[in-house]
Structure 1
Amino acid sequence: MATQNKVSQDNSDLRFRKHGEILKKVYGSPDDIKVSTSSRNILMPWLWDWLAEPVDAISISLFRVFFGFGMTWHIIRLLRKSTVDANFNFPELNFHYPIARDNVITPRIEVVYAITMAILLSSITMMIGLFTKLSAAVFVTSYVWFNALEKSRYNNHYYFYANLALLIAVTDCGRRFSIDSFLKKSVADTTVPRWQTSIFKFMVVVCYFFAGIAKMNYDWVIRGEPMTMWMSTKIDSQSIIPSTPFVIKCIGYFMSLGGLIFDTFIGILLVSSRFRPFGFFLTMIFHVSNHFLFSIGTFPWVMLTTNFLFVPPESFRNGFRKFLSMVNLKIDTKQQSAIQENIPSTDNTYNTDNKQSKNKSTKFSKPKVSLKIKLFLGCFVGWHLLMPLRHLLYMQHSSVNWTLYGHQFSWRMMLNDEEVLLRLHAKLDVDSEEEFIQDITSTLMNLRQAKRMITDLDLVLQFVNHWTTKSPGSPEAPVSIKAELWKSLNGRPFQRWVDPEVFLSQVDPDDWNQDWILPMVPDDFIDFNELERIELVNTERNIPTSFFMERSYETFATFHHNWSGCQHITVACIRGELFYRLDDGDDEHQIMPGINFPIPLSTKYQLFTKESPAIWMYEHDCDKGLFHHGMDMLSLARLAAEYHIAMRESSKQL
């Protein structure tokens, strides 16, 4: 072992003596050059020596140009689609992240527009390389503040953009293809320490890898959901691919398993020199397909530009030479020499300015990674390795896809197809038995906020806190609020998401053991094939269907307004035992499987279970959004439809 350490030490010293010999040739004064090999890192010296080695800066410089262009287009799209008004023109309520609930001041809409223009300007200067680090710092600061203003607009893509901008701010991405490199000779060095290129690669690989790990769940692997449902909608809207259940299933499973394999292993392909071209090909297919299938903005194109980070410098050099030969340029020897000097070198040595060679007293030492850089790298790497796993510390009885605690900042992208129903029961007097149902979209929030709120329990608690404490003593401020929240996850029947007997104003949002959230009913009680068969038959009959399920000894009390547009509503039991009675009556009737039981309109009734859970379905002659609205339930489908209509009208006005 001692012999191996000595050999490793000798190799390290030899490598850096070779760097010293190159510097001697440049400066011509061996006595004035000192190559330090005595300083050693205590923790993993081989790693820090490797990260300190100089490499060409062309990959991160090219990426900076394309990333800046992508961010410029990203902000222009936000302005063109009236996103600023739709997101930040708050009627009353503003949602915040847990660490910023009381620390972010809600500004006027004019201030938000000014910040948006600052983001746009900094993205342009970052792209052209003018004050590169300062531009990136302004971009990431204003962009993070912009997104921290409103939690309901959280997006994994925005989180990824902020991380990339942060890396540009702390690295030397302006060494090439920048105005800075022309204005400042000190910036004209075309190499950077290896840690600067490696940290970008780490960020991209982490994003891919944890997205793949998140897909390793029952719905994605075994059921092929939600991809099968999404592909069904896409296939039904075109006439090329036959929309048979078998074809839809095959495409759904192909997309699911293909996405899992791609995300999990694409990082290995990109890092491997042998398989890198194949990895580039797969990323092209994957991201272009995502763009046309899901319309997810600039993210696919930004991910494609990250391929530049994995291209070896010699490939850029060879590509530039081939480009010159293709365009058939006629250049003389001096021009060729000038071009060669500007092509990045493949040697792991620092390029030096010729003017510096006149200074014979300059002393050089072995490249090292400073302590503050080590601390930054340790914090950055640790954050991105631990944050995607923090959901393991939360509730143990349900998956993160059900509770969504630990879902954000974890690269859990496009895993859930959710439908949520919300009915709030509020009391103005704690001693009163009288409750009322509040339409939360009337004055408290805009449509986008409401659409995101009912899918995020933290936002529900923020709403309850605002409603009960921000206007104490007001005749409209309730003293207690309970919620009926029903959730359908990836095609499952609606089932209760939270305990309807819990007063939400008394819930601690920072408690990791969220026992007020009900666990998901085990999937072995659900016959997914039977539900799909019923859905398919009713779709062919043009009969909308809504599936519900309830646990043992539970009661679902509801009603249906006759103004909802539904004239004929029936209920049928699919599995288990389901009973029916009027709200003010004692007579109960068992709803037998296979028999459609008619439901009277504008009459309160109860559906309840006894010893076993039950699954039932409603058949109605109106669309699902109106059906749920007629039950005084706020539905995600209804809010999404109203939001898209409002956005289209706003775009027409522009």
Structure 2
Amino acid sequence: MDVPPAATSPRAKPAGTTTEDVADVQDARGWLAGARARLFAPVDVAPLAYFRIVLGAAMIWEVIRFFQHNWIWRYYIEPTFYFKYYGFTWIEPWSGAGMYTHFILLGVAAAGVMLGLYYRASAVAFFLGFTYLFLLDQTNYLNHFYLISLLGMLLVILPANRAWSLDILRRPRLASSTVPAWTVGLLRFQLAVPYFYGGLAKLNVDWLQGEPLRMWLAKASAGSPWEPLLTSETVVYAMSYGGMLFDLLIVPMLWWRHTRWWAVAWLASFHLINSQLFHIGIFPWLMLAATPVLLPSRYLRRAAAALRLARPRPNPDDLGRVVPSRIAGVSMAVLALFMVVQLLFPLRHYLYPGYSSWTEEGNRFAWHMRLRQKYAKATFYVTDGKTRQTWEVDPADYLTRRQRAKMPKRPDMILQFAHHLRDRWEAKGFEQVAVRADVVAALNGRDSRRLVDPQFDLATAERNLRPASWILPLEATPTADTVDTANLSAATR
């Protein structure tokens, strides 16, 4: 008696399944298995350990700078009103000396990260402590603070204490010369993102016409022997286009061995010039110090050998270790999701109408670095809906100097302040309170013009992520060679 073919096959094809379908499934499984093998392959731990030391040391320096310059008082204690991020309005500053204590503990956590001492707890404390400061007030937003928060989050999950750390003195079996490839790849990816998107953001009409770099170079070189050179149109355009190409190309050039050392020289000169001309804080030094992470690991190993740093031996616990497919699959999915968010989130400003440097919609968290010089001044008018009595409000009565400099340039902060005024007047017993703002701004050398509709009642505007209809548009091309700032107070510049 003949036996049906299906009965003799251990893996019979479902009805209607073709040979091509089976081949496609097998190819997909093979690709996933290959990707998993590459992501979990052992690679040198040196980049992680080195970056742990760099970031920890940089943040100790930053904490010291906050104490030296009295920034803790100016940024977090002096204000009586804080501009909150959407979804994080519940975050409040510590009272009394709490903010100083917070910075001391943040420095301790950074030291723990740098030394690799109780590393995981130190990394968690640093990430939460720094991100808390970052979210307290939009006034203090800086792209490199956002980057540090992201890097702090990554350190929480990366095994960066498996070499050159005090933890391996406490727990010798923790030491290892290798880590899974995805850990180093993820760190390199995060360091590369600001470069590429910083260059992509420079592909706009102002930057390609030399603004605002033209104004910045004139200010930075005023009265110096370098002024004739730095204010020449040749240098302005060379630095504008050179900066754009640097951001777009520097990471691929570091990876390609034929251009690697040219790229290192370019990167070093770029960050050193930026640090001297524009005084942009810790960012150029951090990115310069992080450069070895983007290079092949052998260079760090050679440097470690020259410094006589011990090379960890392979950890017996790691030899032959097989990552369960379920854990590997979840890890790959989370890793892919994080990378997709990092790739797409900076592009959200394209979903908003208008020029993002003017409207500011989608501008934060997009790596829009040094793209605009914006002067602005705002006057607010509060009206009692019953009596129609109107009060002219000077923001100086409610905001610090730094807040007054930032708020008039950013419509979302203008709206928050308008709501704050509405709430204060309602607390006094007034009803149907209306708040309007007359905001004059000048962007990248253009003539001054109104940023928001002065007739719109901001008290009625809902704060959300949708495009704001009350922001007035801006023409795409400059209308003047110089900025008319005669009617703008120096405090807002």
TM over 0.5: yes
User: Cα RMSD between the aligned structures?
Assistant: 2.8
Match of 1:65 in 2: 53
Match of 1:28 in 2: none
Asked if 1:439 corresponds to 2:394, the answer is yes
Match of 2:3 in 1: none
Counterpart CA distance in 2 for 1:522 and 1:265 is: 27
Q: CA deviation at 1:451?
A: 1.6
Counterpart CA distance in 2 for 1:352 and 1:516 is: 61
Match of 1:176 in 2: 163
Which has the higher mean CA deviation after the structures are superposed, 119-128 or 504-513? 504-513
Counterpart CA distance in 1 for 2:431 and 2:240 is: 47
Larger radius of gyration: 1
Structure with bigger strand share is: 1
Counterpart CA distance in 1 for 2:173 and 2:150 is: 27
Q: Which amino acid aligns with 2:154?
A: L
The number of aligned residues is: 471
Task: Give a deviation string over 1:585-640, Cα, whole Å, max 9, x none.
Answer: xxxxxxxxxxxxxxxxxxxxxxxxxxxxxxxxxxxxxxx4xx54xxxxxx4x3245
Q: CA deviation at 1:318?
A: 3.9
SS in 2 for 1:44: helix
Asked if 1:508 corresponds to 2:462, the answer is yes
Contact 2:212 2:371 in 1 (8 A): yes
Q: CA deviation at 1:316?
A: 3.4
**Aligned counterparts, 1:310-349, within 5 A:** 310-320=294-304, 342-343=310-311
Match of 1:114 in 2: 101
Contact 1:88 1:109 in 2 (8 A): no
Counterpart CA distance in 2 for 1:508 and 1:84 is: 32
Asked if 1:452 corresponds to 2:420, the answer is no
Q: Which amino acid aligns with 1:188?
A: A
Match of 1:100 in 2: 88
Contact 2:292 2:300 in 1 (8 A): no
SS in 2 for 1:177: coil
Q: CA deviation at 1:310?
A: 2.2
Counterpart CA distance in 1 for 2:404 and 2:186 is: 38
Query: Identical aligned pairs, as a percentage?
Result: 26
Counterpart CA distance in 2 for 1:468 and 1:475 is: 11
Cα–Cα, structure 1 residues 120 and 518, in superposed 2: closer, same or farther, change >3 Å?
same
SS in 1 for 2:334: helix
Q: Which amino acid aligns with 2:315?
A: T
Contact 2:456 2:470 in 1 (8 A): yes
SS in 1 for 2:369: coil
Counterpart CA distance in 1 for 2:162 and 2:263 is: 27
TM-score normalised by length of structure 1: 0.67
Match of 1:242 in 2: 228
Task: Give a deviation string over 1:145-201, Cα, whole Å, max 9, x none.
Answer: 122111211111101111111111101100111001221122111210000000011
Determine which of 361, 377, 387 is the counterpart of 2:345.
Answer: 387
TM-score normalised by length of structure 2: 0.88
Cα–Cα, structure 1 residues 106 and 323, in superposed 2: closer, same or farther, change >3 Å?
closer
Determine which of 238, 241, 244 is the counterpart of 1:257.
Answer: 241
Counterpart CA distance in 2 for 1:477 and 1:439 is: 21
Counterpart CA distance in 2 for 1:375 and 1:122 is: 30
Counterpart CA distance in 2 for 1:277 and 1:439 is: 54
Counterpart CA distance in 2 for 1:236 and 1:96 is: 37
Contact 1:126 1:132 in 2 (8 A): yes
Contact 1:56 1:344 in 2 (8 A): no
Contact 2:77 2:99 in 1 (8 A): no
Counterpart CA distance in 1 for 2:298 and 2:427 is: 71
Task: Give a deviation string over 1:477-496, Cα, whole Å, max 9, x none.
Answer: 88111111121110000011
Contact 2:47 2:297 in 1 (8 A): yes
**Aligned counterparts, 1:258-277, within 5 A:** 258-277=242-261
Which has the higher mean CA deviation after the structures are superposed, 144-153 or 69-78? 144-153
Counterpart CA distance in 2 for 1:460 and 1:503 is: 12
Cα–Cα, structure 1 residues 228 and 364, in superposed 2: closer, same or farther, change >3 Å?
closer
Contact 1:116 1:146 in 2 (8 A): no
Cα–Cα, structure 1 residues 238 and 431, in superposed 2: closer, same or farther, change >3 Å?
same
Asked if 1:228 corresponds to 2:205, the answer is no
Match of 1:552 in 2: none
Cα–Cα, structure 1 residues 485 and 178, in superposed 2: closer, same or farther, change >3 Å?
same
Contiguous gaps of at least 5 residues in structure 2: 1-18
SS in 2 for 1:437: strand
Cα–Cα, structure 1 residues 225 and 313, in superposed 2: closer, same or farther, change >3 Å?
same
Contact 2:175 2:312 in 1 (8 A): no
Match of 1:149 in 2: 136
Counterpart CA distance in 1 for 2:465 and 2:185 is: 37
Contact 1:461 1:509 in 2 (8 A): yes
Counterpart CA distance in 1 for 2:448 and 2:322 is: 67
Q: CA deviation at 1:363?
A: 7.0
**Aligned counterparts, 1:121-520, within 5 A:** 121-221=108-208, 223-242=209-228, 247-320=231-304, 342-343=310-311, 351-353=314-316, 364-365=321-322, 370-394=328-352, 396=353, 398-432=354-388, 434-442=389-397, 444-474=398-428, 479-510=433-464, 512-520=466-474
Contiguous gaps of at least 5 residues in structure 1: 11-39, 325-338, 346-350, 533-544, 548-623, 629-634, 641-654
Counterpart CA distance in 2 for 1:482 and 1:512 is: 20
Counterpart CA distance in 2 for 1:453 and 1:428 is: 24
Counterpart CA distance in 1 for 2:387 and 2:64 is: 54
